Amino acid sequence: MNMHHFKLYDFDGGIHPEQNKSQSTQLPITTAKIPQRLILPIAQHIGAPGNPAVKPGDKVLKGQIIAKGEDFVSCNLHAPTSGIVGVIEDREVPHQSGMSATCIEIITDGKDTWIDHQGLDNYLESDAASLIDCIAQAGISGMGGAGFPTHVKASIPASKINTLIINAAECEPYITSDDLLMREYAMDIIKGIEILQRILLPEQCYIGIEDNKPQAIEALQIALKENLDDTHNIHVVVIPTKYPSGGEKQLIQILTGKEVPVAGIPADIGIVCQNVGTVHAIYQAVALGIPLISRITTITGDAVSSPQNYQVLLGTPVTDVLSQANAQPNKVKRLIMGGPMMGFTIASADTPITKTSNCIIAASDQELPDPAMEQACIRCGMCTQACPAQLLPQQLYWFAKSSNLEQAQAHNISDCIECGACSYVCPSNIPLVQYYRFAKGEIKQAKSDKKSSEQAKLRFDIRNARLDRETAEKDAKRKARAEAAAKKQAAKKAAPPATPASGDATAEPSVDTEVLKQKVLAAQTRVDKARERLAMAQEQNLETADALELGLNKQIDKLTAAQKSLEEAKS
């Protein structure tokens, strides 16, 4: 079954950057030490951030929920070890912007005491709903990089899915966390796949893996043979090494020859894609009841003396793991979270490891020197050759550079996956991807501006309509009153000695006086209130006193006016 030969497809473009993977595969996965403090951002996934479920000072146990994902597209967060909740405040989080966001700090107690936990018994006989619930409870989100909540992906109706793809390509240079995970936990991964199959009922399942990971391939194949009988439909598909074969869209194209339609998701063509790391987390959650509280992270780069993969508790500051891998701080020039093609630099080593941090590269100056100065684009077309999305990167570059957002959109800039292949090959050292990110950001901004300006226009129109209506109503009332008055006048003239107690005409003024009386009363209270407030302000010497005095005078004026009109009405 494993020897089954597969027709592979190819995707356009792609590059072959230097692998730099062997540095970190020499040693097995090691468990990193529990740091003194864990910093846990409440948003480590795509979607709504979790709501903190603990207060500073609370004691927490390992595996206890500390932030609850209340929306459907959101994730729970658990305490990675036991300890006491420190502060809950904004801290620097792993994000390209280098900004801060809410984090829960846990001061660890070193005892690592578990909360009660257990997996589902006989999980392969459980129904899909309880499996999905179990995944949701465990707070699992995509561990390959994007961090999309896994239970949401798993909730796609099984009837729509015919293929499950496990992304084990790990095409970015330097990163080996999936590789080592497969070498050491192949059996668990296969079991995790079985759980997903139980939920999604796919006709077939492909594990897409690049041919630069022979040990992982072998481990998977052995695990398959030992674990399952011959009727299984899980295929380990070895694909050629080419970046970005691990991009979801590209992997789907390689394995099935199909393309995810624009603005669509893989489920539109019957496919669900999951990363191997995620599959392993699913197994741990469902079979063992272990929520997502740690992950495998590659610590590598020239500035690290003993690069290797660590099992790290979420929230561990990067600096803690770096020092375990013997990093030389003065050699570090660039600290990258993720791979060298799509990862982002972090501005501080205190930034914590999160659910999506698959790799930390502490790069020296020789390794990743400062970017060379941007030269003029010579339209050489090397970027077009490299682009896996069949875009025209250089056209996009010209449009982005001149802020011609309209044309950039027309040339499908939104389909750029920001893989960086174009920047990699560009002989003029143009930071193409940054140009695209800039243009995409501007486009997004423009769209939201447009939306709010439309909204403002709408509200403006509604308000105007309301004002018009109000004036119209007032006019109508005034007219009615004038007419009534005229009638009364006429009636008076017609019957000068009329008896005051008869007819509607006489009731009118009494209503009027009622209203006016009310008004006087209201004005009186307002004056009183204003006096009070003024007195208070004067007592406290507030700057507002002057304004309040002015206000009081106005109120008094109004009161006198009201009283006057009442007198007039009465007489």
What is the rounded (10 degree) CA torsion for 436, 344, 338, 372? Answer: 80
393 interface partner picked from ligand SF4, another protein, none, CB below 5 to 8 A per type:
ligand SF4
Q: Is the dihedral of CA 2, 190, 206, 269 positive or negative?
A: positive
Q: Is 408 a residue that touches ligand SF4 (CB under 6 A)?
A: no
Q: Is 186 a residue that touches ligand SF4 (CB under 6 A)?
A: no
Q: Is 405 a residue that touches ligand SF4 (CB under 6 A)?
A: no
Q: Is 326 a residue that touches another protein (CB under 8 A)?
A: no
Region near another protein per CB under 8 A, out of 160-168, 197-205, 325-333, 476-484: 325-333
Q: Which positions ≥6 away from 456 have C-beta within 8 Å?
A: none
- By CB under 8 A, what part of segment 251-290 binds another protein? 253, 259-264
Q: Is 406 a residue that touches another protein (CB under 8 A)?
A: yes
Which residue from 57, 116, 230, 373 is in contact with another protein, where contact means CB under 8 A?
Answer: 373
Q: Which positions ≥6 away from 208 have C-beta within 8 Å?
A: 165, 166, 167, 168, 169, 237, 239, 245, 246, 251, 254, 255
Q: Is 378 a residue that touches another protein (CB under 8 A)?
A: yes
Q: Is 545 a residue that touches ligand SF4 (CB under 6 A)?
A: no
Q: Is 426 a residue that touches another protein (CB under 8 A)?
A: yes
Q: Is 422 a residue that touches ligand SF4 (CB under 6 A)?
A: yes
Question: Contact, 101 vs 70, CB < 8 A?
Answer: no
Which residue from 333, 488, 517, 531 is in contact with another protein, where contact means CB under 8 A?
Answer: 333
Q: Which positions ≥6 away from 109 have C-beta within 8 Å?
A: 81, 82, 83, 84
Q: Is 478 a residue that touches another protein (CB under 8 A)?
A: no
Q: Is 35 a residue that touches another protein (CB under 8 A)?
A: no
Q: Is 140 a residue that touches ligand SF4 (CB under 6 A)?
A: no
Q: Please tell me the distance from the alpha carbon of residue 549 to that of residue 536, in angstroms, as a whole number.
A: 11
- Beta pairing partners, 234: 205
Q: Is 387 a residue that touches ligand SF4 (CB under 6 A)?
A: yes
> Cα 183 to chain center, whole Å?
31
Closest CA to 279 of 126, 140, 131: 140
> Around 420, how many Cα atoms within 13 Å sit in the side-chain half-sphere?
15
Q: Is 65 a residue that touches ligand SF4 (CB under 6 A)?
A: no
Comparing CB distances to another protein, the nearer of 333 and 517 is: 333
Q: Is 343 a residue that touches another protein (CB under 8 A)?
A: yes
Question: Which pairing describes strands 234-239 and 100-108: parallel, antiparallel, or unpaired?
Answer: unpaired
- By CB under 8 A, what part of segment 526-555 binds another protein? 526, 529, 533, 544, 547-548, 550-551
Comparing CB distances to another protein, the nearer of 262 and 494 is: 262
Comparing CB distances to another protein, the nearer of 46 and 158 is: 46
Which residue from 442, 491, 524, 569 is in contact with another protein, where contact means CB under 8 A?
Answer: 442
- By CB under 8 A, what part of segment 130-149 binds another protein? none
Which residue from 33, 198, 232, 401 is in contact with another protein, where contact means CB under 8 A?
Answer: 401
Q: Is 419 a residue that touches ligand SF4 (CB under 6 A)?
A: yes
Comparing CB distances to another protein, the nearer of 464 and 518 is: 464
The site that binds another protein (CB under 8 A) totals a number of residues, namely 116
Question: Contact, 196 vs 151, CB < 8 A?
Answer: no
Q: Which positions ≥6 away from 198 have C-beta within 8 Å?
A: 123, 124, 126, 128, 131
Six token digits for residue 109 = 């107690």
Which residue from 207, 421, 548, 566 is in contact with ligand SF4, where contact means CB under 6 A?
Answer: 421
Question: Contact, 140 vs 281, CB < 8 A?
Answer: yes
- Beta pairing partners, 563: none
> x/- binding map, residues 149-188, to another protein, per CB under 8 A?
------------------------x---------------
Q: Is 200 a residue that touches ligand SF4 (CB under 6 A)?
A: no
Question: Contact, 312 vs 297, CB < 8 A?
Answer: yes
Closest CB 562 distance from another protein, rounded Å: 15
109 interface partner picked from ligand SF4, another protein, none, CB below 5 to 8 A per type:
none
Continuous H helices in 64-158 = 128-137, 150-154
- By CB under 8 A, what part of segment 82-141 binds another protein? 95-99, 101
Per-residue DSSP letter, 317: B
321 interface partner picked from another protein, ligand SF4, none, CB below 5 to 8 A per type:
none
Question: Contact, 242 vs 23, CB < 8 A?
Answer: no
Per-residue DSSP letter, 288: I
Region near ligand SF4 per CB under 6 A, out of 16-24, 309-317, 374-382, 526-534: 374-382
Closest CA to 84 of 113, 54, 60: 60
H or E element at residue 63: none
Q: Is 393 a residue that touches ligand SF4 (CB under 6 A)?
A: yes
- Token match 């009442």: residue? 566
136 interface partner picked from ligand SF4, another protein, none, CB below 5 to 8 A per type:
none
Q: Is 403 a residue that touches another protein (CB under 8 A)?
A: yes
Cα→Cα distances 318→91, 145, 353, 354, 434, Å: 14, 17, 6, 10, 25
Q: Please tell me the distance from the alpha carbon of residue 311 to that of residue 33, in angstroms, as a whole number.
A: 9
Strand order across the 65-68 sheet:
51-52, 65-68, 77-78
Q: Is 347 a residue that touches another protein (CB under 8 A)?
A: yes
Q: Please tell me the distance from the alpha carbon of residue 485 to that of residue 509, in angstroms, as a whole number.
A: 10
Q: Is 428 a residue that touches ligand SF4 (CB under 6 A)?
A: yes
Q: Is 386 a residue that touches ligand SF4 (CB under 6 A)?
A: yes
Six token digits for residue 125 = 């006989």
Which residue from 185, 397, 399, 435 is in contact with ligand SF4, where contact means CB under 6 A?
Answer: 397
Instruction: Count how many residues are written for the chain.
Output: 571
**Residue ranges binding ligand SF4 (CB under 6 A):** 377-383, 386-389, 391, 393-394, 397, 416-422, 425-428, 430, 432-433, 436
